[in-house]
Amino acid sequence: MKFFAIFLTACALSVFAFAAPDAAPDPDSERIAAQGKPLKNAPAHFSARLPKERARRQYEQYGEREATQGKPLKSTLAVERGWARWLPSERPAAAYMILENRGAQSVDLISASSPDYAHVSVHQSVVQDGKSKMVRVRRLTVPAHGEVGLMPGGYHLMLEQARRKIAPGNTIKIELHFSDSTTLETELPVRPPASN
């Protein structure tokens, strides 16, 4: 009887010594987990979701893509307090607004367009040698977690060659194109020349 007990103890120790440890999740498992899909034969200690901290870092790194599921995010860019100034005699109009960037990366406004105007471009009013003039702006940076103003006397959109009759009280559509491939569509009320 004593010999049988010793034999059972030795068997138990052998099984414990040669038991394989839990396998660590491979990269494919992490990729599947990042998409929120269930894992087949996953070790008990492996979570089917990315830790919040890693998800936050991926969000900050990739910006326009959702860190845990790879789906497009809602834009982090927004237009606030936009309006357009109408001028008579078919003169170019101007559009003003606040561009807000709620994202963790800066982004550039690189162009603009409109179904209501043939040409839309970004300009800046500057004073040189005591004279005011307008300078074409190719890229306008909107800082991360910040904003930039397009206002009378500074940056603005120049609207040329109206495709239809436009007057104060109307609304026009503008499309803003950014360096991160985001396009913002906005509607602006048209105001008379004396507006600010």
Structure tokens at 171: 């609304």
Tally of CB atoms within 10 A around 117: 24
The one-letter amino acid at 121? S
Q: Which domains does the chain have, with CATH numbers?
A: 2-62 (no CATH), 77-191 (2.60.40.1890)
Walk along the chain (196 residues) and give the pLDDT tens digit of each residue: 555 455 555 555 544 444 444 444 454 544 444 454 444 444 444 334 444 455 455 445 444 444 444 444 567 899 999 999 999 988 999 999 999 999 999 999 999 999 999 999 999 999 888 888 899 999 999 999 999 999 999 999 999 999 999 999 999 999 999 999 999 999 999 999 988 7
Please tell me the predicted confidence (pLDDT) of residue 53.
53
Longest CA span, the chain: 114
- Output the CA torsion sign for 138, 132, 159, 103: positive
Please tell me the predicted confidence (pLDDT) of residue 25.
47
**From residue 168, how far is each of 54, 83, 137, 173, 188 by CA, in Å?**
51, 11, 27, 14, 11
* 124 and 166 Cβ atoms separated by less than 8 Å: no
Please tell me the predicted confidence (pLDDT) of residue 29.
47
Q: Is the model's pTM score more than 0.75? A: no
Please tell me the predicted confidence (pLDDT) of residue 132.
87
Tell me how far apart the alpha carbons of residues 196 and 194 are, in angstroms, rounded to a whole number.
Answer: 7
Please tell me the predicted confidence (pLDDT) of residue 157.
98
Please tell me the predicted confidence (pLDDT) of residue 55.
45
Residue-by-residue DSSP string for 182-196:
-EEEEEEEEE-TT--
